Chain A
Amino acid sequence: MVFPSYEFAFFFPVVLALSWALMPRQRLWKPFVLAASYVFYAAASPGYALLLAGVTLANQLGAVLVGRSSDERSRRRIMTATVVVDLGVLGLFKYYGFFAGEIGSFLDSLGLGMPLPLLTLALPIGLSFITFQAISYVVDVKRGILTPAATIDFALYLSFFPHVVAGPIVRAREFIPQLATPRDPRNVAVGAGVVLIATGLVKKVAIADYLAREAVDPVFGVPEAYAAPDVALAAYAYAAQIYCDFSGYTDIAIGVALLMGFVFPQNFNNPYRATSFRDFWRRWHMTLSRFLRDFLYVPLGGNRGGRLRTARNLMITMVLGGLWHGAAWGFVLWGALHGVCLVAEHVMRGRGVKAPPAWLRWALVFHLVVLGWILFRAESLDLAGTFIAQLAEPGAATLWTPATLAAVLVVIGFQLLPPDPIERLRERLTALPAPALGTALALVVALVGATVPSQGVPPFIYFQF
């Protein structure tokens, strides 16, 4: 089930009303919201719900065993085994086809045949997010940051419908304490939630999908058919599209959770405002950044082993972060590009190189990020190469329309504005009375719905990850 759909429009009001009605009776509320979350997740395929239940039970077993064990080596072994199970599930569904093909091709080129069966496995929606959250739980229990939660609390944490499909990656220690006591029905951030839902719908349906149709998909599909002006427009448009698509989803997820009384961490903070790559990763997909930092970069040693070790750790983290997005060399290269830029910044900071002016740093970082998005979006490295080569091909601008240009400029330019006036406007909107908020939400849904083409709303980009 996706947020901008009729199914969700029927599902959510009913679940919201029953959730608040049952909230004082936690013994009823928890099974109800758990069941609702499984219905939400199983709407794509009932088999996926079985897998989610399996991952839940395996990780809860691991966490309980870690919690019961007083021997450090045993705790470590149990944690490792549980993480291996999580990564095994993720690897099987997400990476099997890629690696079976790549390894098979390599062995075949040596005359050894293709020993691995070539199968296509459907990737259960949100599996990457689910496994990362499960890992965070077991590892935090091992680290002593968390005690093992009740099974129903952990099951709710993993499956809670606002974030089960595409994040944000909520840490167990952020969510499970919110289950300890009923949410206060007199203290709900209704205005903030509604503003986020409305903003997310506009970002996803009215902007991201429009840019995809009008500029991104045609050029990334056949870049050789377009000259530099259109190819450049498509590159910037994709930067705007992926931001609106993913942050739009996150806005809706956070807004829906707020209406239910739960708070999720922020996931985006004007990423195209960044003046360094370190800054970028503190603004883009922030919950993934901190997961990679806390569960990969720091355990690898972080910046505690000198420049070379730091560079190695940064590269490993970013390349694996790229691979997390999908089994393709484009994602690996995208991660490597970000890793190289982070390493370069680290080296320059260490040597005390004087930083260029802020506007130049912004321009450099922004255009390198856009270059990275080309690798990320192109269906193959060949097409990415063709796309980049076409940037030097003179020709006419056939896709430049006022609406497309305005959409790109607004999305990127809005992030460069001073944040305070925008924040004040948001706060004023959140203070509107409930009837005004309801009317405004209906108006936004109707306006956004009118822009949906006959093909319907395409899936969110991050659903595939």
Chain B
Amino acid sequence: MSEPYYPSSPEPPVPPAPKGRRTSARSALVVVFLAALLLVLFEGSSIRDAGEEMDPGLGRELTLAIGEPTGWVSDLLPFEDWTDDALAFLEDEDVGAAGAFQSAASGAGTGRGVPPVPPSSFDPGELGMEPPPLGELDTLLVTGDSLSMPLDLELARRLADTGDVEVERDPHVGTGISKTGLVDWGRLSTEQTAEHEADAVVVFIGANEGFELPAPGGGQVECCGPEWAAEYAYRVRRMMNTYRRGGRARVYWLTLPAPRAEDRQEVARAVNAAIEVAAQPYRAHVRVVDMEALFTPGGRYRDAMTVDGRRQIVREPDGIHLNARGSGLAAAAVLAAVRRDFGG
């Protein structure tokens, strides 16, 4: 058998260096370290802020180890304020401070005695009564962290056929209710409600939970015991109350399907328990859509499940998120709940 023909490659063995001035390695170090120094002086505290927002791990420790001293230096100097003012035109609009978790008291132990039970704690349907008529579903807001993607797209596509419902998608990747530095969901939910005045709000959040929360008596409470769940439930309840707009809107809050990793399962269990508790006073307006029962019955993780008589993969390889097919199933469950409320 003869050797196949290979042409002599037109490329030289080592690529030619780009044109331009050649200097010394010392110059390379001057450039890089000077840029780093200037960024520390002018943007030092942003390193610390970024570190505080990172998930626990070596990256966070490293970023904080550098960010805390650089932030301290930056705080002492006026340069960062100058930079912020100069670059403000490029940044995202501030969502305002109203409703922020950071400025609010802890939830547990704030009342004395037995709290009253409001009528909104009961879903009229569960009592065998006709629910009060709802207005038209004009605007549906889908929000949350990365879990809400591509659920938001699935809902938008399914409702696009009707042409009557405007679907607003507002995912905030990498955020969580138990971490407030990057996005304060208390504040954001207030801002979203004012901006969209949605008739229905779909919330799917919890891929990045498990951060320490402020304890009632000061200090921090670690995930995932009753104290943490209580604080988390309080934050969820505040958001539910904001989104339901005094009963003018319906909220569809999705629980978490069990993730693959055991440490994340512990967080998911606490989050799901908190969602159930948080919704109790608002059963008339808040629907808890159970993703755990749909995707991971009994809390047992699985990549694939039977859909339309066939085994199909419903999870992303990370073992946390739903893939497009899984999101389609979640969207169907949400829309069934929406249609029970709004008809159609």
A-to-B contact residues, CB < 8 Å: 6-7, 9-10, 12-13, 16-17, 20, 23, 43, 72, 97, 101, 104-105, 108, 114, 118-123, 143, 171, 173-174, 177-178, 183, 185-196, 218, 221-222, 224-225, 258-259, 261, 263-266, 290, 294, 298-299, 302, 304, 379-380, 423, 426-427, 430-431, 434-435, 437-439, 441-442, 445-447, 449-451, 453-456, 458
Complex CA distance for A159 and B183, rounded to whole angstroms: 36
Asked if B31 and A104 sit within 8 Å, CB to CB, the answer is: no
Q: Is A221's CB under 8 angstroms from B15's CB?
A: no
Q: Is B17 an interface residue (CB 8 A)?
A: yes
Report the Cα distance A290→B22, complex, angstroms: 29
Provide 27 A-B residue pairs closer than 8 Å at the C-beta atoms, listed in order of the A residue: A6-B63, A20-B25, A23-B25, A120-B303, A174-B11, A178-B14, A185-B24, A188-B23, A189-B20, A190-B24, A192-B20, A196-B18, A221-B153, A222-B156, A258-B18, A263-B16, A294-B9, A302-B7, A380-B324, A430-B21, A434-B34, A437-B27, A438-B32, A449-B46, A454-B183, A455-B171, A455-B174
Q: How many residues of chain B are within 8 Å of chain A by beta carbon?
A: 78
CA distance A104 to B309 in the complex (A): 13
Complex contact B150–A120 (CB within 8 A): no
Q: Please determine whether A454 and B17 come into contact, CB atoms closer than 8 angstroms.
A: no
Binding site for A on B (CB under 8 A): 3-7, 9, 11, 13-36, 38-39, 42-43, 46-47, 50-51, 59, 62-63, 66-67, 83, 87, 90-92, 150, 152-153, 156-157, 160-161, 167, 169, 171-175, 182-183, 303-304, 310-313, 315-319, 323-324
Residue of B nearest to A168 (CB): B15
CA distance A222 to B173 in the complex (A): 19
A437 touches B31 (CB 8 A): yes
Given the known inter-chain contacts A43-B59, A453-B92, please indicate yes or no for A263 contacting B14, CB distance below 8 A. yes
Q: A16-B29, A455-B173 are in contact. Are A120 and B315 (CB under 8 A)?
A: yes
B34 to chain A, nearest CB (A): 3
Let me know if A121 and B5 touch, CB within 8 A. Answer: no
Q: What separation, in Å, do the CA atoms of A83 and B22 have in the docked complex? A: 40
Bound-state Cα–Cα, A294 to B10, Å: 11
A17 touches B29 (CB 8 A): yes
What residues of chain B lie closer than 8 Å to A455, measured between beta carbons? Answer: 171-175
Q: Which residue of chain A lies nearest to B91 when distances are taken between CB atoms in the complex?
A: A450
Closest to A109 in B: B310
A198 CB, nearest partner CB in chain B, Å: 10
Residue in B closest to A183 when the chains form the complex, CB atoms:
B25
Nearest first, the 9 A-B pairs at minimum CB distance are A438-B34, A430-B20, A118-B304, A442-B38, A185-B25, A450-B87, A122-B317, A450-B90, A434-B27
Indicate the member of A171, A185, A261, A450 with the most B CB atoms within 10 Å: A450
Which residue of A is nearest B38, CB measured? Answer: A442
B173: nearest chain-A partner, CB-CB: A455
Question: Does B87 lie within 8 Å of A12, measured CB to CB?
Answer: no
Q: Which residues of A contact B39 (CB under 8 A)?
A: 9, 442, 445-446
Given the contacts A10-B63, A193-B28, A454-B182, A264 and B38 also touching, CB distance less than 8 Å: no
- Residues of chain A within 8 A of B59, CB atoms compared: 7, 43
**Cα distance A257–B119 in the bound complex, in angstroms:** 67
Q: Which residue of B lies closest to A386 (CB)?
A: B157
Check A225 against B160 for contact (C-beta < 8 Å): yes
- B47: A residues at CB distance < 8 A: 6
Question: Is the pair B15, A263 in contact by a Cβ cutoff of 8 Å?
Answer: yes
Once the chains bind, are A177 and B20 in contact (CB under 8 Å)? Answer: no
Which residues from chain A contact B23 at a C-beta distance below 8 Å? 188, 190-191, 434
- Would you call A438 and B311 a contact (CB within 8 A)? no
A379-B150, A450-B90 known, 19 other contacts, Cβ within 8 Å: A20-B29, A97-B317, A118-B303, A118-B312, A143-B6, A183-B25, A185-B25, A196-B18, A221-B153, A221-B169, A222-B160, A258-B17, A379-B153, A434-B23, A434-B34, A439-B34, A441-B32, A446-B43, A447-B90
* Complex CA distance for A437 and B24, rounded to whole angstroms: 14
